[in-house]
Structure 1
């Protein structure tokens, strides 16, 4: 079966639950037998997204390190390394990829872009760090560099090395510029702890790509729509609070509208503190509200960002059902174009450890009109079938292994 779900710090040597750079735990699934045996990495696209690298890079890196052939089907998110490889071993190799091709050599921050530089017709690859402004080279002797040069990132920046000192130009004229306001990541995490886990929004959230229109007009329109839908959403909770709680002016409606109005400035900690202030941080209806208010069409990429908040607030089967109800409303009503992405959304939630296999399997086989109308409920569950099938097949693999033992 695929390895247990969860999220980890991108730098696994950093033992800090408030470390803001997180990624899903790399999952593996062994398929085939004999000479046809292979290791499939079902969440490689999600891991690579967290690292801001194309998923082909770490996949090819594994192949280089293991001396194994790899195959990629980007359209269907299939990333394969030939042979049977232990998940723990691949995670160690991923650490190596991160060290060599992601982390800034100067400040060890993972917030870097790969840049191809050219000097005298010789191409090099450097890491352009958004945190400290340094440009640090990668080891061009590694076999992966040949693959990267032939398959540069789609948004890769090209730079020319400055004559004389061999430094690269990052393309914006700010060579080696320091970040005056951000400070190091260690300083940031210390500040978080010292200020009751409040995030440094200037340094952290300003770099988030929310991909949403934050103009006053757009926010006003979304708030108005949210006020209208929030009351209907929380009424489905049925056993927490009364009529006073369930209106747009009740605590759940207030929380939802507050999140929308403060989307650009509020992180996971602030959202939790707002729920605490309203006295609803332990209620399952709060989870229903969070899914609708926090996420938009980039939900799959956004889930790891809010994983610590979800893990803290999803504490029972009832909470998980509310979480799934929120997904139904998010993709079935707010963003119908997301229906085909339901398997990826469920996989992302499963990976961060807020969905149990039994709960999501039961949900997937029982249409309900509790949170949405029956037609939408059927449509969302139908779309979830690839994920449910993956869970079932993973169980079958476990059973086969038990029989062999």
Structure 2
């Protein structure tokens, strides 16, 4: 795939910091059009950020939910969207959340701090020049999302580091040879369950289905849409303009 400079202001073809150029594919299935962001995860790796940040940023820019195909590790959004416009969204993300404001180096990292008053601040620090700046958490929704995401990750890290290890010599006699893996996990106070819980701030909305439901009969699709509207009504989201747009797009898709 074609590589381009991370900083769009640099025209040097031999610049050290490069990333994959965005590749999209427009897919039409029945009455549903969707744009697949084929290599969004690779781009996120190039700019040292989780792909969920890029997906959330595009989600806010388009005012539409960005969905994920976990098996293929691809993201897609309903409708037809120009590749150049989406590439510019990625550049906007890089300018705001990746590039150092002092030395223009992309080797930065994000961190979060919470003071005694409960105020949360997101900091960007540069590994090259050492410059650090505080990002305005109230300026945009993505900074608020990043703050929540980093706080959750920090809380999980502290919880895992606080697990008390039991004496190995004592735990050996409790190991069941038949269920050895489960017994070892329980002996050390670690749950072997893979359920990580719901992430309410994720742009991947489970209320919106993929295209596998288009093979259903019309009556079944109508019932599915009715349940979706009822759920949004119960969640008191019908007054949200983004929800209304998504419901209209879902109705066209299921038509």
Whether the aligned pair in 2 keeps the contact of 1:24 and 1:47 (CA below 8 Å) is: yes
Deviations 1:103-151 (A, max 9, x none): 1112221101111122321112121110111112334221112322332
Whether 1:89 and 2:85 are equivalent positions in the alignment is yes
Deviation at 1:87, TM superposition (A): 0.4
1:153–1:131 distance in 2 versus 1, CA, 3 Å: farther
SS of equivalent residue, structure 1 residue 65: helix
SS of equivalent residue, structure 1 residue 131: coil
Residue in 2 that maps onto 1:118: 114
Q: Return 5+ residue gaps in structure 2 as ranges.
A: 156-255
Deviations 1:42-80 (A, max 9, x none): 111110000011111111101101111111244531211
Whether the aligned pair in 2 keeps the contact of 1:62 and 1:81 (CA below 8 Å) is: no
Residue in 2 that maps onto 1:143: 141
1:15–1:90 distance in 2 versus 1, CA, 3 Å: same
Separation (CA, whole Å) in 2 of partners of 1:153 and 1:27: 32
Deviation at 1:38, TM superposition (A): 1.6
In structure 1, which of residues 25, 35, 40 is the aligned counterpart of residue 21 of structure 2? 25
Q: Return 5+ residue gaps in structure 1 as ranges.
A: 158-405
SS of equivalent residue, structure 1 residue 20: coil
SS of equivalent residue, structure 1 residue 110: coil
SS of equivalent residue, structure 1 residue 145: helix
Q: Which one has a larger percent strand, Structure 1 or Structure 2?
A: 2
Counting only pairs closer than 5 Å after superposition, residues 381-392 of structure 1 correspond to structure 2 as: none
Paired residues in the alignment total 154
Whether the aligned pair in 1 keeps the contact of 2:107 and 2:127 (CA below 8 Å) is: yes
Whether the aligned pair in 2 keeps the contact of 1:59 and 1:80 (CA below 8 Å) is: no
Separation (CA, whole Å) in 2 of partners of 1:22 and 1:135: 23
- Displaced runs of 4 or more, over 6 A: 153-157
In structure 2, which of residues 53, 60, 63 is the aligned counterpart of residue 57 of structure 1? 53
Q: Which one has a larger percent helix, Structure 1 or Structure 2?
A: 1
Residue in 2 that maps onto 1:316: none
Separation (CA, whole Å) in 1 of partners of 2:3 and 2:106: 16
1:74–1:151 distance in 2 versus 1, CA, 3 Å: farther
SS of equivalent residue, structure 2 residue 133: strand
Residue in 2 that maps onto 1:104: 100
Higher RCO, 1 vs 2 (CA within 8 Å, ≥6 residues apart):
2
Separation (CA, whole Å) in 2 of partners of 1:154 and 1:109: 27
Q: TM-score, normalised by structure 2?
A: 0.55
Deviation at 1:40, TM superposition (A): 0.9
Separation (CA, whole Å) in 1 of partners of 2:152 and 2:38: 22
Deviation at 1:19, TM superposition (A): 1.4
